[in-house]
């Protein structure tokens, strides 16, 4: 189970880490998937995971750049605020956000977006969680 922490990061990868620490924590092999789109020069990419960087970036993140965002697919078992959300429905996520006093809105495309921080939940056609985006 990988914990999503809005203050610390994702699992073993911490906000502010340089690329070498990310590769050491997650593995160095990049793995591209169609959902990732193009123009990935600010990212390291792995199966079900995009790790975004700020700072010095050439055609890839350099050691003078640092982790600032994550986009995670539910191929990884996910936990938020100590609660498993891997197969959560939109209603489950909305209930969790309400319990945590997080303000949110549902966008026309069905994405649940928090309004006071960089946190989004994307759902598949069956209505279960497909990916989570969060940033510092």
User: What does the alpha-carbon distance between residue 35 and residue 86 come to, in Å, rounded to a whole number?
Assistant: 18
Q: What is the DSSP letter of 108?
A: T
pLDDT tens digits, one per residue of 33-45: 898 988 888 999 9
User: What does the alpha-carbon distance between residue 95 and residue 89 come to, in Å, rounded to a whole number?
Assistant: 10
- According to the model, what pLDDT value does residue 119 have? 97
Is 80 exceeded by the pLDDT of residue 47? Answer: yes
pTM of the model: 0.93
Cβ atoms of residues 95 and 102 within 8 Å: no
Is 80 exceeded by the pLDDT of residue 12? Answer: yes
- According to the model, what pLDDT value does residue 28 have? 75
Residue ranges covered by each domain of the chain: 1-136
pLDDT tens digits, one per residue of 74-97: 999 999 999 999 999 999 999 999
Q: Give the up-direction half-sphere exposure of residue 111: CA atoms within 13 A in the CB hemisphere.
A: 14
Strands 78-80 and 2-5: parallel
């Amino acid at each position: 189970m990988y914990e999503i922490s809005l203050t610390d990061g994702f699992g073993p990868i911490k906000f502010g880490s340089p690329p070498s620490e990310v590769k050491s924590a997650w593995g160095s092999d990049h793995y591209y998937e169609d959902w990732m789109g193009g123009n990935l020069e600010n990212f390291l990419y792995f199966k079900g995971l995009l790790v975004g960087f700020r700072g010095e970036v050439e055609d890839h993140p350099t050691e003078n750049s640092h982790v600032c965002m994550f986009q995670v697919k539910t191929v990884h078992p996910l936990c938020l605020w100590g609660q498993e959300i891997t197969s959560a429905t939109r209603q489950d996520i909305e209930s969790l956000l309400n319990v945590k006093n997080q303000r949110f809105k549902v966008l026309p495309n069905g994405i649940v977006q928090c309004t006071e921080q960089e946190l989004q939940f994307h759902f598949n056609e069956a209505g279960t969680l497909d990916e989570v985006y969060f940033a510092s």
